[in-house]
Structure 1
Amino acid sequence: MPASIAFGRFDDSFSLASFKAYIAEFISTLIFVFAGVGSAIAYSKVSGGAPLDPSGLIAVAICHGFGLFVAVAVGANISGGHVNPAVTFGLALGGQITILTGIFYWVAQLLGAIVGAFLVHTIAPIAIGFIVGANILVAGPFSGGSMNPARSFGPAVASGDFTNIWIYWAGPLIGGGLAGVVYRYLYMCDDHTAVAGNDY
């Protein structure tokens, strides 16, 4: 099979539809980070700063789930509702979006994460670092469970704590990239419309 990774064209990247997609990713990621970080901060305030107990873990995980549901619903018909640089990376490697579009999505997602984290931080001036992420029920007690680089990046910028940030990028990007390639070559139907050939 020929390579399916496409760089893309600048004229497409600056079209009205593209800008709508970037704005959708910005808003979606802002919503997700605001809900996720806000739930963790709310728990911390209610518990007097105690570590997450099982009921708190479930409450924060549910809030992340609802936040992600709303975030994806907001962007699904406009940008695809990625809300996650690792998802975007996987789709770019799988040929579903161009590399150029993926880069602009990343910028929108990271800016949305920063704004979402700062909105929460003005609301409750509590220093936050890496907060539990999408797979919180499984990995939360061990590593923070963030499988979303934007979810980790926003709070890191807001708190000024970039400790081990590379781990929260490397893991999701490797996983997202592998998922995109595996999906493209093992699961995608032959009649699926790929990126236009003149973008390669």
Structure 2
Amino acid sequence: MPFKTIHIGRLEELTHPDNLKAALAEFILTLIFVFVGEGFGMAFNKLTDNASTTLAGLMAAALAHAFSLFVAVSVSTNISDGHVNPAVTFGFFVDGLSRYM
């Protein structure tokens, strides 16, 4: 099915304060999500003498990522509608963010 039209966002949307705030919040929360998850994995590996590949280590890493994602989505719900994936925000900028907010 071919596209009849491709919607490109307007230039004003890139400099709108709400859109910039949403993009900055998502960038910061993505950094927090990645660093918390990976930091917990490195700390667990150091504390348990390289036992991070055991079942307990894998479950602990999964829980750390789940809780950090939960916090990131909770914090960004009012700012960027809970997006913690930069690809989503980039797609909204290309397609026209104001249509969805």
TM tier, smaller: 0.7 to 0.9
Matched, 1:75 2:76: yes
Pick the structure with more helix per residue. Answer: 2
- Unmatched runs of 5 consecutive residues or more in structure 2: none
Moved over 3 A (4+): 1-5
Residue aligned with 1:77, SS: helix
Give identity over the alignment, percent.
42
> How far apart are the structure 1 equivalents of 2:57 and 2:6?
42
> Given the superposition, is the C-alpha separation of residues 31 and 71 from structure 1 closer, same or farther in structure 2, using an over 3 Å criterion?
same
- The equivalent of 1:180 in structure 2 is none
TM-score between both structures, scaled by the size of structure 2: 0.78
Q: Deviations over 1:27-51 (max 9, x none)?
A: 2112211210111101110122244
RMSD: 2.9
- Paired residues for 1:11-160 under 5 Å: 11-86=12-87, 88=88, 92=91, 97-99=92-94
Tell me the amino acid that sits aligned with residue 94 of structure 2. I
Tell me the amino acid that sits aligned with residue 28 of structure 1. L
Q: Which has the higher contact order (CA 8 A, sep 6+)?
A: 2
- The equivalent of 2:99 in structure 1 is 195
Check conservation: 1:6, 1:98, Cα contact below 8 A: no
Tell me the amino acid that sits aligned with residue 99 of structure 2. V
- The equivalent of 1:190 in structure 2 is none
TM-score between both structures, scaled by the size of structure 1: 0.43
Q: Deviations over 1:2-21 (max 9, x none)?
A: 65752201211111111110
> How far apart are the structure 2 equivalents of 1:83 and 1:22?
10
Q: Deviations over 1:100-119 (max 9, x none)?
A: 678xxxxxxxxxxxxxxxxx
